[in-house]
Amino acid sequence: MALAVILPQSTGPYVALMIAGFVVGVLGHLVRSKWLITAGIIIIFLAALAFPLALNLESNKPAPPGPLPRPY
């Protein structure tokens, strides 16, 4: 429950973090640093999958309603 409070609800910070990961990865390729490339890949993974998944798992949104029954 506490994790959902920390993570932002909008997509802007996740997109910014993903762009930062790509910049770190490209910089790592330019200076030929394997640990910098790895850090960029980890940042992209966190921004694209881990943080949004944690936000969805921790949110208290009710499940969407199922289909309506068919009238006879």
End-to-end CA distance of the chain: 43
Instruction: Give pTM, 2 decimals.
Output: 0.66
19/13 Cα distance (integer angstroms): 10
pLDDT of 72 reads 76
Identify the DSSP state of 17: H
Note the pLDDT tens digit of each residue in 20-59. Answer: 999 999 999 999 999 999 999 999 988 888 777 777 776 6
Residues in the chain: 72
Please name the residues in contact with 45: beta carbons below 8 A apart, sequence gap of 6 or more.
21
